[in-house]
Amino acid sequence: MERTLVLLKPSTIQRQLCGEIISRFEKKGLRIAGMKMMQLDDKILEAHYAHLVGKPFFPALKASMMKTPVVAMCLEGVDAIAVVRFITGYTNGRKADPGTIRGDYCMSNQQNIVHASDSPEAAEAELARFFKPEEIYNLGDLNLDRLYAIDEN
Ligand code: TYD
What is the domain count for the chain?
1
The residue whose CA is least distant from atom 11 of ligand 1 is 110
Q: How far apart are CA 145 and CA 88, in angstroms?
A: 25
% of the chain surpassing 90 pLDDT: 97
Which residues are paired to 32 by β-bridges?
A: 75
**Catalytic-residue membership of 51:** no
Query: Is 100 domain-assigned?
Result: yes
Single-letter amino acid code for the residue at 133: P
- CATH number at 132 reads 3.30.70.141
Q: Is the pLDDT of residue 103 over 80?
A: yes
Query: Is 53 domain-assigned?
Result: yes
Catalytic annotation, pick one of 73, 102, 115, 130: 115
For the residues 67-82, what does the mean pLDDT come to?
98
C-alpha 49 – ligand 1 centre gap (Å): 9
Query: Is 10 domain-assigned?
Result: yes
Single-letter amino acid code for the residue at 50: A
CA torsion sign, 53 to 55 to 57 to 59? Answer: positive
Mean pLDDT score of the chain: 97
CB 37 within 8 A of CB 100: no
Query: Is 144 domain-assigned?
Result: no
For the residues 1-12, what does the mean pLDDT come to?
98
Query: Is 143 domain-assigned?
Result: no
Neighbour count for residue 15 (Cβ, 10 Å): 14
Residue whose C-alpha is closest to residue 5's, from 105, 153, 129? 129
Q: Is the pLDDT of residue 153 over 90?
A: no
11-33: pLDDT as tens digits? 999 999 999 999 999 999 999 99
Query: Is 152 domain-assigned?
Result: no
Residue 96: per-residue pLDDT: 98
Q: Is the pLDDT of residue 142 over 90?
A: no
**Which domain does 27 fall in, by range?**
2-137
Q: How far apart are CA 8 and CA 112, in angstroms?
A: 9
Q: How far apart are CA 22 and CA 32, in angstroms?
A: 9
